[in-house]
Structure 1
Amino acid sequence: MARHISYIQERPLAMLHLAGWAIYVAADYMDHALFENYNAIPTLASGIAAYLLTGGLALLYDRMVRLGAIFQHVVFFTFLYAGAVVWHKVHRIFHYIVFHETETVPAELERLVHLPFREWIATGFTPVLLFLSWAGFFFVCRQYLARRDEQARLRRQELATKKAQLQTLRHQLNPHFLFNILNSIDVSVQSDDKTTAHKMTQHLSRFLRSSLEQGEADKIPLAQELGMLREFVAIEELRFQDKLRVSFYVETETEKALVPAMLFQPLMENAVKFAWTERAEGFVTFRATGGDGTIVVMVENSKATGGGRKGTGTGLKNIRERLEILYGEDASVTVDDTYARFAVTVTLPKELAL
């Protein structure tokens, strides 16, 4: 069954062609049945002839696609008329002989062969109209399917572009993050604080392992994202000792929600950067709550210098670009910047992991 469905999906025009002439055969048979003519042979013969002739025309049209539109259509319609003439003769042979029993098939064929060329190419209005109707149907379907395929190609291209953009944005995060962590480990080693350096290395190892396990996935469960964030926070707390307090408040129902991978790490990194001070304890708060079909994540931090130090905004720009690619207008990022605190709120559509 799956093979048949695949065939139909790959060759929709061929299936429509077959279905169209099957409908014609059914309609012609019912028309004869109204007059108590139940012999299906003439109808089947006419239908098969029409199917083969018009199928050949369709193949001919596709083969001439590189020869220019004018030449292609002139040849097509010339052969279309010739096909209508041939079909008319086949139709006449079977219908007149079977239903009217006027002549035998060989006798009728012999008569047709000896007809003058002028009479031979003459045909009635009905065959020409029938074949022209098929041609109209053929062109409309062909145009529709070509447009559909082009739209599908553009969608695939757009998805590929978006995926490449997402990967680029994600890869921009990792080098900056790794540089800071490795620099902290180096400082600990130079200070002969081997215990701290060892713990930092362990947390970094677990962080990188989690990052590798998620692969190239665009979205991961929030619980998995939180696991990586906690490893990052553990490293930062080792760096700043008692000068930094980080808190997580996460509603249980939000942990299964899908979020963009590594989306909140730059927010936490910036929050730590601007919260830390040697003179007083800084705080960073990560809060995740569920709304009506949404998940709301807020990262808040104290401002160590009372608002005197400014960031570049690169992290926020990166996050906004990723959300635009993944969600369009369904996601938002808002910033609340006061003298003593800075908060970023990210609102995402709620998508639950299976």
Structure 2
Amino acid sequence: MNWKNIIENKDRLFWLMHTGGWLGFVLIHYLSSLLHDLRDLFVIIIFLNAYAGWMFSIPLRYLYRKIWNSTPLKIALTVLLASYFTGLLWQIVKNINYWEIYKHGYRPEFLIHYLKNSLFSFSIMLCWSVLYFGTKYYQMLQTEKQNVLQANSVAHQAQLKMLRYQLNPHFLFNTLNAISTLILVEDNKTANGMVTKLSEFLRYSLDKDPMKRVTLDNEIDALKLYLGIEKVRFEERLKIEINIASDCRQALVPSMILQPLAENSIKYAIAEREEGGTITVSVSRFGNDLLIELSDDGPGANIVDGNIFRDKGVGLANTRERLQALYPGNFSLVIAQNNPNGVKVNIRLPYDNGN
């Protein structure tokens, strides 16, 4: 039985609790009859009284629906009055059942005796009413909770997508300019290869859901596409070294997490030096953590308290915010000077290979 579906289905939950409550009434009174050594005939009276209570309390549901949005005072007065008069009616039926069946047609001398023990019946109906409102408020709170969770999830996805698609437009502009230059000098073969790599890279960046992760192998392939495009621009000035531990290749990482870091290195390390430089990517595992390092051997940067002051774009801030959204409180991104020169970025993520 799927209890979640039962709780969320208001009608089903009402009839289940309504019937279950009156069956509980039968059980309690049956056990009480055994303690007081009443005749077996009293069991029939218990079931008739429970059935009458089951019937008389149903209209309360529809009355309470109508006053649901009323003021608290009006609701309280309505509940008290409705419970009281329903309890009186139920008590009259209970007394008649008792006199007709257990006392063989007994009739009281005064009509007021038909209301005997009505306070107990009123308390039962009042408890039914309180349970009804309590259940309704619980369902309302659960619905609000689901709405809040759904709204947070939608906002979370929107934030990730926004961060994910904040790729530096300079890369696209520079690439298109490079292709245009290659066409002008009639180096059509190189231009065609560059267009092919660009289309594959853009397809990868747009197709991957920012809410999902990809294997490190896929992410490295995308990084190679990006660096391959840049290598056409920089030729021998750009050198690339990639070292991946064998047990890390199927580890799951956020898609497009390395490209902004590599773009920073190209912009501030490779492009700044006439002789160019080397971008090194290393990935290893330490316990339950995946360790990623991307470094360059450029001129370095001003780093204070782990913050870099050479980046005016969104690359590093984008990466940090994406990691915070995907691994709240369970990641690290550290920027430091590389040895002997340059900058390195170290990322620590939870190791997860999908198993």
Contact conserved, 1:286 with 1:300, CA < 8 A, in 2?
yes
The 1:162–1:45 alpha-carbon spacing in structure 2 relative to 1, beyond 3 Å, is: same
Structure 1 residue 174: deviation in Å?
6.6
Contact conserved, 2:213 with 2:254, CA < 8 A, in 1?
yes
Contact conserved, 1:207 with 1:228, CA < 8 A, in 2?
yes
Q: Name the counterpart of 1:262.
A: 256
Contact conserved, 2:240 with 2:278, CA < 8 A, in 1?
yes
Q: Spell out, residue by residue over 1:64-103, the C-alpha distance to the aligned partner (whole angstroms, 9 max, x if none).
A: 12333322221222111111112222333334433x2422
* Pair 1:334-2:329 in alignment: no
Q: Name the counterpart of 1:184.
A: 178
Contact conserved, 1:334 with 1:346, CA < 8 A, in 2?
yes
Q: Spell out, residue by residue over 1:16-46, the C-alpha distance to the aligned partner (whole angstroms, 9 max, x if none).
A: 3433333222222233344364454333333
Q: Name the counterpart of 1:103.
A: 105
Q: Name the counterpart of 1:81.
A: 84
Q: Name the counterpart of 2:32.
A: 31
Structure 1 residue 279: deviation in Å?
2.9
Q: Spell out, residue by residue over 1:276-313, the C-alpha distance to the aligned partner (whole angstroms, 9 max, x if none).
A: 1553241111122223322221111121x454892215
Q: Spell out, residue by residue over 1:111-152, the C-alpha distance to the aligned partner (whole angstroms, 9 max, x if none).
A: 8xx975x66666433212222333333343333333232222
Structure 1 residue 220: deviation in Å?
2.3
Contact conserved, 2:210 with 2:254, CA < 8 A, in 1?
no
Structure 1 residue 191: deviation in Å?
3.3
Contact conserved, 1:274 with 1:301, CA < 8 A, in 2?
no
Contact conserved, 1:13 with 1:142, CA < 8 A, in 2?
no
1:278-289 correspondence to structure 2 within 5 Å: 279-289=274-284
Q: How far apart, in 2, do the equivalents of 1:77 and 1:183 lie?
A: 80
Q: Name the counterpart of 1:353.
A: 354
Secondary structure of the residue aligned to 2:346 is strand
Secondary structure of the residue aligned to 1:206 is helix
Q: How far apart, in 1, do the equivalents of 2:175 and 2:98 lie?
A: 88
Secondary structure of the residue aligned to 1:310 is coil
Contact conserved, 1:323 with 1:331, CA < 8 A, in 2?
yes
Question: Partner letter of residue 312 of structure 1?
Answer: K
* Pair 1:41-2:36 in alignment: no
Q: How far apart, in 1, do the equivalents of 2:20 and 2:314 lie?
A: 58
The 1:85–1:340 alpha-carbon spacing in structure 2 relative to 1, beyond 3 Å, is: same
Q: Spell out, residue by residue over 1:188-211, the C-alpha distance to the aligned partner (whole angstroms, 9 max, x if none).
A: 223332222111111122223333
Q: Which one has a larger percent helix, Structure 1 or Structure 2?
A: 1
Q: Which ranges in structure 2 are unaligned for 5 or more consecutive residues?
A: 303-308
**Deviating more after overlay: 89-98 vs 152-161:** 89-98
Secondary structure of the residue aligned to 1:248 is strand
Report the TM-score when normalising by structure 2: 0.84
Q: Name the counterpart of 2:306.
A: none
Q: How far apart, in 2, do the equivalents of 1:9 and 1:147 lie?
A: 11
1:42-61 correspondence to structure 2 within 5 Å: 42-61=45-64
The 1:324–1:22 alpha-carbon spacing in structure 2 relative to 1, beyond 3 Å, is: farther
* Pair 1:296-2:265 in alignment: no
Question: Partner letter of residue 326 of structure 2?
Answer: L
Q: Name the counterpart of 1:311.
A: 311
Question: Partner letter of residue 180 of structure 1?
Answer: N
Secondary structure of the residue aligned to 1:65 is coil
Q: Name the counterpart of 1:6.
A: 5
Contact conserved, 1:85 with 1:122, CA < 8 A, in 2?
no
Contact conserved, 2:79 with 2:126, CA < 8 A, in 1?
no
Secondary structure of the residue aligned to 1:328 is coil
The 1:138–1:65 alpha-carbon spacing in structure 2 relative to 1, beyond 3 Å, is: closer
Identity %: 26
Question: Partner letter of residue 331 of structure 1?
Answer: F
Structure 1 residue 267: deviation in Å?
0.9
**Deviating more after overlay: 164-173 vs 275-284:** 275-284
Q: How far apart, in 2, do the equivalents of 1:344 and 1:136 lie?
A: 60
Q: Name the counterpart of 1:244.
A: 238
Secondary structure of the residue aligned to 2:54 is helix
* Pair 1:126-2:113 in alignment: no
